[in-house]
Amino acid sequence: MSNSIRCLDDYVVGQKGVTATRTVTEADIVNFGGVTEDYNLPHMDRHAMADSTYGARVAHGLLGSSLVTGMLSLRAPHVIGRGVPGAYLYSFDSNYRDGIRLGDTIRIEWSVADKSDASPYQDFGLVTTDFQVVNQDGVSIYDGTLGTLVRKASTEDATLQLMHQEPWQVTEFITEPDKAYYVEDYVLGEGGDTDGRTITETDIVNFAALTGDYNPQFVDAEYAKQGIFGTRVAHGLLIFSVVFGLWTSQGSAHRRAPPSKGAMVAGHLNDRASFVGAVRIGDTIRCRYKTLATRASKTRPGIGLITTGLQAINQNDEAVMDGSTILMGISRSGSES
C-alpha cells in the first residue's frame, strides 16, 4: 500500500474522512470471544440479555474499538501508522455511549485533531486523531482518540526504544467463594495477577483477519525486519483485549453482584491504554489489575462505577501496556427489590 506520508511534518491537522461501512455479525462476536477469552454474558447469552436494557446481545466494546483500527487501516492507514516508516500506534481512549447490536452497520468518522513535537520519545512526535463510530441510524455510539508516534523529519533513521513501565505494586484482593461483590466491596489499590498467555503467530493472524488491520508491522516478516522493532509485533488492541479477557475470566469482574430484579447490566463505559512496550511472537503476558476508583453513578440510582487499572506484564517482568477500564456495577443501595 503506497503512502505519501513519510514523517510528522506530512500530517495535516483538520484532515478528516469517513471509512467504508461494515456490518457486525454473529461470527465477529464469537471469533472475538475466542481470540480474547472474553465470554461475558452480554456478548454470548441471548437469553440473559433478553431482559437487559438492550433487549439482545451486544458486541464487545473492545471488538468495536478493534474494528476502529481495522477499518482505519484500510481507508485512512496513515492515522494509525500503516505505511508510515517508524510510526507506531501508541495509545487509544474509547468511550462507549451505546452498544453495537448484532446486524448493526457501522462506519468510522475521523479527524486529525493535533500533531506535536512533544512526545515521550525525543525523535518522535505525536499525532492525535479523534474518531466516532456511527451506526446505520446516524447515531454516534462510540467516540475517542488515537495517539500515533511518528518520526520527525530530521530523524529519518531513528529507532524507537520503548520505555517500559514498572509493574504496579498491589495489595492482594482476596475473594470469598460464591460471594457477590458490590461496588462498595472494591478497595483502592487491591488487585492481583492472572495466569499468563503466550502470544502466538495464530493470535496475530486471527486478529488481523477479524479486524482488517493488516499493517505489515504485524503480518509482514520482511517489512518488519526493517522496521522500528526489527521483527513482527502484536497489535496493540490485541494485547489490550487479551489482557481484558484474562482479567474478566480470572480476576474479579465476574464476581460482580447481579441487578436486583435479574436484568443483565451491560455496563462497559471506557477503555484506554498506552502501549509502552512491544509484544513479540512467543512473548508471554499476564494481567496485573487493581482498583483505581469507585463512585456512585450521577444518573442511575443503585449503580456505581468501578475504574480498574490493567497492566500487561511480560515474561521479563516488564510492563508493556498501561491502561484502565470503567465498568458499571451494582451498589448495595440498589440491591433491594
Residues forming a β-bridge with 201: none
**Domain-wise residue ranges, the chain:** 8-334
DSSP 12-75: -TT-EEE---EE--HHHHHHHHHHHT---HHHH-HHHHTTSSSSS-B--HHHHHHHHHHHHHHH
Say what the pTM is: 0.93
Amino acid at 260: S
Q: How many other CB atoms sit within 10 Å of the CB of residue 179?
A: 10
Task: Find the mean pLDDT for residues 272-280.
Answer: 96
Amino acid at 104: D
- Please, are residues 263 and 52 in contact by the beta-carbon 8 Å criterion? yes
The C-alpha cell at 239 is 494485547
Q: CA 208 from chain center: how many Å?
A: 15
125-170 per-position pLDDT tens digit: 999 999 999 999 999 999 999 999 999 986 766 677 777 788 999 9
Task: Find the mean pLDDT for residues 241-256.
Answer: 81
% of the chain beyond a pLDDT of 90: 70
Backbone angles phi, psi at 241, to 5 degrees: -65, -40
- Please, are residues 73 and 67 in contact by the beta-carbon 8 Å criterion? no
**Average pLDDT of the residues of the chain:** 90
CATH class of 8-334: alpha beta
Q: Which residue has the cell 516488564?
A: 318
What is the dihedral angle through the alpha carbons of 40, 43, 49, 54, rounded to the nearest 10 degrees? 130
Beta strands in 117-214 (DSSP E): 124-134, 140-151, 171-172, 190-198
The C-alpha cell at 47 is 437469553
DSSP code of 236?
A: H
Q: Which helix (H) or strand (E) element contains residue 240?
A: helix 236-250
Q: Tally helices (H) and strands (E) across the chain.
A: 8, 12
Nearest to 243 by CA among 291, 273, 287, 191: 287
pLDDT band at 313 (very low <50, low <70, confident <90, very high): very high
Task: Find the mean pLDDT for residues 221-240.
Answer: 94
- pLDDT for the residue 334: 56
Amino acid at 181: Y
pLDDT band at 180 (very low <50, low <70, confident <90, very high): confident
Helices (H), 41-179: 41-44, 46-49, 61-75
- pLDDT for the residue 130: 98
